[in-house]
Structure 1
Amino acid sequence: MSTVLLIEDEPALGMIVSDSLGVRGFKVIHAGNGAEGLNLFREHQPDIVVADVMMPEMDGFTMAELIRKENPNIPIMFLTARSQTADVVRGFELGGNDYLKKPFSLDELIVRINALLRSKPAVQAVLPALFNIGRYRFDPSRQKLMLDGQEVLLSHREAELLRRLYEQRNQVLERSSVLTELWGDDSFFNGRSLDVFITRLRRYLREDAKIQIINIRGIGYKLII
């Protein structure tokens, strides 16, 4: 039985979603605000987090950022009426895996939860302490990219994307696999978000002209060192 931590400050909606998930075999832990949600996450270590964004005491984005620092693999889904591109991108930058706009279908919510649980890694990969990427040093565990004493703090998804590119360096990293593993599915919208992240990584690595991230049309990306 998978445990879902649901953080929703609207009591009626929280009850409806909790009951619907419970009927379908999930164990549900419900919190009414972000601060309570963070405490319950630490206490129960759920399999997935489903969180509203606009909440009292601590908003969903802040809570998710703190959760992601403690657990890089747990799936996080945002539920919100906010659908502007900047809000969606920020949610993904902070480590969210999916984004469902209110009002939503309970059947769609359950399908997405199951998809995220299937894509969750069974065991966290063991990473070397540091990667050498051209002139750069990359610390995946601390999400830091370093050059000549300067540091750039990467988001969770930026760090995971760079790690995958490095592990497949000079080979093609398939676009569809990255979208499924880091975004939850390979939808058009998620594909556009991935393109934004690739552009950011190119900018971070621009001080070393020998490093390139090239597009392999229709297939994916290649990190050339």
Structure 2
Amino acid sequence: MRKKLLYVEDDNTLAFLTADNLEQYYDVAHFANGKDAFEAFKQQDFDLCILDVMLPEMDGFELAAAIRERNVEVPIIFLSAKTLKEDRIKGLKLGADDYLIKPYSIEELILKIEIFLQRSQKQAPVKNMTCTIGSFTFDPQNYALTKGSETIMLTERESALLKLFIDNKNAILKREKILTALWGTDDYFMGRSMDVFISRLRKIFKDDETIRIENIPRIGFKLVAP
């Protein structure tokens, strides 16, 4: 069965050329503004989303955030003329899987699409088994950390990162291993996104002295916990 892509681009010429190429391999639903695209996303199932950033009515960042509120797993690829490092990092922090700069090649885009589609298909369902870390209970399937009566919801990637740390507790994890396991690539911008997630986990655990995520200079990180 052909995979279904949500493609949002307001440049008619670029949209026609890109969609025409993608339709050789996928079913493509194209929209020229973020608002219409989100309405379609709420009503249909998509296997992957391709978003421009500068869109009318609802920009790509707002659209990605809205998509992530409804679905934390569907892959998102940004295609944008915004080349600032801050824009790429913002897109990745919103939960995007990649951020390609215009002009891009169709071959590269298709390669990225295939990588993320294959990765999402290979992800086996997480067993509904909670585990204890310090004074917290971690539920990886539901992306939840519980301490007493308080429950903290993690993003999918934060949960995957914590699970990787717990599976390698008290051992050094190299940066490249973490990046490859979670993003499929050892990339500078993905690394910056990873650092943001680690910073949030540290804030969550800051009041539990038995848990710490140590920075191992020029190598990686180590979760120290009982």
**TM tier relative to shorter chain:** 0.7 to 0.9
TM-score normalized by the length of structure 2: 0.82
Structure 2 equivalent of residue 9 of structure 1: 10
Per the alignment, in what secondary structure is the counterpart of residue 5 of structure 2?
Answer: strand
Structure 1 residue 19 displacement after superposition: 0.5
Structure 1: stretches of 5+ with no match in the other structure? none
Per the alignment, residue 23 of structure 2 pairs with: 22
Q: Deviations over 1:13-43 (max 9, x none)?
A: 11111011123x2221111222222232233
Instruction: Give the distance between the partners of 1:171 and 1:125, measured in 2 at CA.
Output: 25
Partners of 1:121 and 1:212 in 2: CA distance: 33
Deviation at 1:181, TM superposition (A): 4.4
User: SS of 1:162's equivalent?
Assistant: helix
In structure 2, list runs of 5 or more residues that go unmatched.
none
Which residue does 1:54 correspond to in 2?
A: 54
Percent of aligned pairs with the same amino acid: 38
Question: Within 1, Cα distance between the matches of 2:182 and 2:88?
Answer: 15
Distance 2:89 2:152 in 1: 19
**Residue aligning to 1:118:** 118
CA distance in 2, matches of 1:105, 1:4: 18
Q: Please say if residues 49 and 77 of structure 2, whose CA atoms lie closer than 8 Å, have aligned partners that are also in contact.
A: yes
Q: Residue 68 and residue 81 in structure 1: after superposition, are their counterparts in 2 closer, same or farther (change >3 A)? A: same
Q: CA deviation at 1:128?
A: 3.8
Shift of 1:73: 2.0
How far off is 1:105 after superposition?
Answer: 2.0
**1:129-144 equivalent positions in 2, closer than 5 A:** 131-138=131-138, 140=140, 143=143
Looking at structure 2, the residues matched to 125 and 174 of structure 1 have their Cα atoms a distance apart, in angstroms, of 25
Assess if the C-alpha contact under 8 Å between 1:130 and 1:140 holds in 2: yes
Give the aligned length. Answer: 224
Match of 1:97 in 2: 97
Q: C-alpha distance in 2, partners of 1:9/1:151? A: 40
Q: Could you state the TM-score of these two structures normalised by the residue count of structure 1?
A: 0.82
Amino acid at match of 1:125: P
Partner SS state of residue 204, structure 1: helix
